[in-house]
Amino acid sequence: MDEIKNKFWAVGGGKGGVGKSIVALMTGVSLARLGNKVILLDADLGGSNLHTLVGIQYPQYTLADFISKKVGSLEEVIMSTPVDNLKIICGADDILGMANPKYAQKNRLLNNMKKLNADFIILDLGAGTSFTTVDFFLYAPNKIVVLTPQITSIQNAYGFIKASLFRHLNDVFGKDEQAIELIKRACAPAEGETIDSIGKLFDAFLTLGGEHQDKLLNCINELKIKMIINMVRNVRERNVGRIVQSVAKNYLGLEIEDMGIVQFDNVLNASINNMAGFLSSNLRKSESYAYTNFYDIACNIMKGCNWQSAAPVKTEL
């Protein structure tokens, strides 16, 4: 995993409409403007639209061409964007069954992703908690959950984090029937269930042996999840992430890292239908609060990776 430790970033979340694609795109744009080679990969296989945001109406190549083996390598489907240093691999939603690729197809895709020549590869995931979406999320060493201050978004973000954790536990303990039975009880506790949190699952694992408890702790500690609050309008909404952090800590044993907030921005919001134009207009970007927020997030990413820009880049903010 060392070769992809800093390279792969997955952007996901439980609810549609929270701005995952915009967060993935604008984070990628900011990283690219700081001198990094960035590839955006639209991993929303059932409803891709990232190419539209960068002004590509009819992609010449898509991920479907690679998955169906019409092309031999993932490099062949990479396309340019209006932003220097930023390229894209377009998703596909026009082929029956593409939203649920087979295990061998996913494995081939993940193995080829590691070979891509980029400093950062950002996966824009679909909404929901399908196995494919969660598997892509778990594959990336760096995981970002996007949510908005809406209560439904908060609930869905927690549900996505929980689904990811228990998918991970099922993978790790898959051949241990006794452990899996306890994990199932903790994942969807019925009324009166005594194992209704990771803490109580840890206690229940004691009956299976101390090595099971150590293994469970390792699973929790290696699942490092970050969070971005999008469309923030006021000071009160800045703090909604604490709700997710608190519940995730108490019930799942997870420490969720706050990556920052993105303010609700009329300039950015009005530019959704012409994002390519927004990205190429220095005037529009200078008026955008959100653009500044994404620049800060990109700097935090590079700082966390101990990353240095390829060359000094003058910010346009």
Could you read off the pLDDT of 216-232 as tens digits, one per residue?
Answer: 999 999 999 999 999 99
Coil, strand or helix at 214: helix
Could you read off the pLDDT of 40-88 as tens digits, one per residue?
Answer: 999 987 778 899 999 998 898 898 889 888 998 999 999 999 999 999 9
β-strand 120-125 against 142-147: which pairing, if any?
Answer: unpaired
Res 285: pLDDT: 78
To the nearest whole percent, how much of the chain has pLDDT over 70?
A: 92
Could you read off the pLDDT of 104-113 as tens digits, one per residue?
Answer: 888 888 889 9
The more confident residue out of 2 and 57 is 57
Using CA atoms, how far residue 294 sits from 120, 201, 277, in Å, is 15, 38, 18
**At 80, phi and psi to the nearest 5?**
-80, 160
N- to C-terminal Cα distance for the chain?
A: 35
For residue 231, what is the enclosing H or E element? strand 225-232
**How far is it, in rounded angstroms, from Cα 83 to Cα 102?**
33
**How far is it, in rounded angstroms, from Cα 164 to Cα 11?**
13
pLDDT at 259 over 60: yes
Q: Which residue bears the tokens 């990556």?
A: 259
CA nearest to 268, candidates 55, 53, 90, 44: 53
Average pLDDT over residues 81-106: 78
**How far is it, in rounded angstroms, from Cα 110 to Cα 112?**
5
Average pLDDT over residues 139-164: 96
Total residues belonging to the chain: 317
For residue 226, what is the enclosing H or E element? strand 225-232
Domains in the chain, start-ordered, CATH in brackets? 1-147+265-317 (3.40.50.300), 148-252 (no CATH)
CB 241 within 8 A of CB 258: yes
Residue ranges with strand state E in 33-101: 38-43, 78-80, 86-89
pLDDT at 307 over 70: no
Task: Compute and round to an integer the Cα radius of gyration of the chain.
Answer: 20
CB 33 within 8 A of CB 316: yes
Q: Which residues of 165-203 are buried (b: 16+ CB within 10 A; e: fewer)?
A: bbbbbeebbeeeeebeebbebbbeeeeeeebbebebbbe
